[in-house]
Amino acid sequence: MKTQVAIIGAGPAGLLLSQLLHLQGIRSVVLERQTRAYVLSRIRAGVLESTSVDVLRAAGLAGRMDRDGHPHDGMRIAWAGRDSFYVDAGRLLGRPFMTYGQTQIQEDLFAAADARGQAVLHGAADLTLHDIDGASPRVDFTLDGQRRRLDCDYIAGCDGFHGPSRKAMPAGVLREYEKVYPFGWLGIMARVRPLEDVTYAYHPRGFALASRRSDQLGRFYIQVPLSDRVEDWPDERFWPEFKARFPAELAAQIEEGPSIEKSIAPLRSFVAEPMSHGRLFLAGDAAHIVPPTGAKGLNLAVSDVHYLSRALAAHYRDGRDELLRGYSDTALRRVWSSVRTSWYLTNLLHSYPASTEFDRRAQEHELTYLQSSPRAQAALAEQYAGLPLEG
């Protein structure tokens, strides 16, 4: 097999990249280890920055999002069970954001791939990348019990944190930066009416978040110790604990219902530099992980593939390679900005096991300052709603 761009991974980064390349007349083949059903079953983020919304619209993928998504002007922050305030990104910046589940985005991407006849090979196992430093890169893989080969001009590694692409970087090329947080998030999905605003809560008992997937489907999280298991948190325990972390007037608005999905995820910040080497380019979770506090993971995948598709289009259309050479630096500027925002919100809103009384008092006064300062709110809103893409 031969194509122009081999894309490893059929998650949002990989399928969106294939759509953007298709619109530029660039051929690609997508290799995915898992089944389509497995890819669609992954429950992930649901907050889209205004820039991500713009990219999806420009790619012709926004029909259902514009119909079923829920625009938000800002986010609400509650603290210590006593008070809450609203950070109005729409008023401060004129750039609202949108809640629309990643599962729905994945469905839209598969539907678009089917409609254009995109080659997506599921069950592609034991992938190995070859000659990424040379002029003839290729990907070898096993499919239906047979060893196969895909020759290409470029390889896009969109295969997540545990995929083979980043591991194919030569020794000494890659620098990795990581912070592991001493807690996890227990998340549930329930068919209940969510709160009107995306609401973050800081409480000495731990962090909580109320988000939405639709008008009748909510996504709810609480901070838990890393030692906890899903089995430790039946619904009968989750809901009282969740509501206890909100002020009384917000807790009274929270509807309870049976969970239809429940999982615990550890939190980490991770960045790999550079995001390219030779003819291999990393995008999405293959290159970086952010805590979900800042709702940046999916949005960074969108900006990565926007920059990469633009660079590949300049190469094939105009014979210009400066954007390919600058891809890593361009993408990493946005990555580190989002990493900082997620790190800031994680520190601001979580209870750390080793925190001292000084730490807790300083944390509460940081929230007091944020509540009282329009300039501080504007700075946070600018990062949360999404910085403009670089031209």
Please indicate, yes or no, if residue 190 is contained in any of the structural domains.
Answer: yes
Please indicate, yes or no, if residue 86 is contained in any of the structural domains.
Answer: no
List the catalytic residue out of 203, 288, 296, 350.
296
Do 210 and 310 lie in one domain? The reply is no
Q: Which is nearest to 224 in space by CA: 322, 353, 100?
A: 353
| CA angle 68–18–4, rounded 5-degree value | 175
DSSP H/E element including 289: strand 288-289
Cβ atoms of 59 and 47 within 8 Å: the answer is no
DSSP class of 287: T
Q: What does the alpha-carbon distance between residue 348 and residue 343 come to, in Å, rounded to a whole number? A: 8
Do 333 and 358 lie in one domain? The reply is no
Do 259 and 288 lie in one domain? The reply is no
Query: Where would I find the H helices in 151-271?
Result: 164-167, 235-244, 248-251
Residue 176: pLDDT band (50, 70, 90) is: very high
Angle between helical axes of 374-385 and 322-349 (0-180°, round to 10): 130
Do 301 and 190 lie in one domain? The reply is no
State mean pLDDT over 114-135. Answer: 97
- Bridge partner list, 219: 189, 211
List the catalytic residue out of 181, 221, 327, 384.
384
Do 243 and 367 lie in one domain? The reply is yes
Assess whether pLDDT exceeds 90 at residue 45: no
Question: What is the Cα Rg of the chain in Å?
Answer: 21
- Bridge partner list, 78: 84, 201
User: For this structure, is 100 an active site residue?
Assistant: no
Torsions phi, psi for 98 (to 5 deg): -140, 140
Do 278 and 308 lie in one domain? The reply is yes
Residue 23: CATH number of its domain: 3.50.50.60
- pLDDT above 70 coverage of the chain, percent: 99
State mean pLDDT over 66-82. Answer: 88
Chain-centroid distance of CA 298 in Å reads 3
User: For this structure, is 200 an active site residue?
Assistant: yes
List the catalytic residue out of 72, 243, 306, 315.
72
Chain-centroid distance of CA 126 in Å reads 26
β 217-224/259-273 pair status: unpaired
Q: What does the alpha-carbon distance between residue 328 and residue 157 come to, in Å, rounded to a whole number? A: 13
Q: What local confidence, expressed as pLDDT, does residue 369 receive?
A: 94
Residue 257: CATH number of its domain: 3.30.9.10
β 125-130/138-143 pair status: antiparallel
Residue 102: pLDDT band (50, 70, 90) is: confident
Assess whether pLDDT exceeds 90 at residue 171: no
Q: What does the alpha-carbon distance between residue 389 and residue 186 come to, in Å, rounded to a whole number? A: 32
Please indicate, yes or no, if residue 212 is contained in any of the structural domains.
Answer: yes
Q: What does the alpha-carbon distance between residue 331 and residue 307 come to, in Å, rounded to a whole number? A: 7
- Bridge partner list, 119: 29
Assess whether pLDDT exceeds 80 at residue 43: no
Q: What local confidence, expressed as pLDDT, does residue 38 receive?
A: 95
Residue-number span of the structural domain to which 122 is assigned: 5-72+97-178+268-348
Do 23 and 151 lie in one domain? The reply is yes
For 214-236, the pLDDT digits (tens) are 888 899 999 999 999 999 999 99
Chain-centroid distance of CA 280 in Å reads 21
Please indicate, yes or no, if residue 48 is contained in any of the structural domains.
Answer: yes
Angle between helical axes of 297-318 and 50-58 (0-180°, round to 10): 40
Q: From residue 124, how far is each of 34, 72, 138, 148 by CA, in Å?
A: 8, 39, 14, 9
Q: Is the peptide bond before 182 cis (omega within 30 degrees of 0)?
A: no
Residue 47: pLDDT band (50, 70, 90) is: confident
Counted domains in the chain: 2
Tokens (6 digits) for 52: 């991500």
List the catalytic residue out of 202, 221, 292, 306.
292
Do 64 and 189 lie in one domain? The reply is no
Q: What local confidence, expressed as pLDDT, does residue 212 receive?
A: 84
Please indicate, yes or no, if residue 390 is contained in any of the structural domains.
Answer: no
Please indicate, yes or no, if residue 78 is contained in any of the structural domains.
Answer: no
Assess whether pLDDT exceeds 80 at residue 251: yes
Q: What local confidence, expressed as pLDDT, does residue 89 receive?
A: 85
Do 65 and 202 lie in one domain? The reply is no
Q: What does the alpha-carbon distance between residue 50 and residue 178 come to, in Å, rounded to a whole number? A: 28
Do 185 and 252 lie in one domain? The reply is yes
Residue with tokens 């990424």, as numbered in its chain: 132
User: For this structure, is 38 an active site residue?
Assistant: no
Q: What local confidence, expressed as pLDDT, does residue 83 receive?
A: 85
Tokens (6 digits) for 280: 């291999």
Please indicate, yes or no, if residue 83 is contained in any of the structural domains.
Answer: no
For 294-351, the pLDDT digits (tens) are 889 999 999 999 999 999 999 999 999 999 999 999 999 999 999 999 999 999 999 9
List the catalytic residue out of 181, 200, 202, 307.
200
Do 134 and 18 lie in one domain? The reply is yes
Do 286 and 172 lie in one domain? The reply is yes
Please indicate, yes or no, if residue 113 is contained in any of the structural domains.
Answer: yes
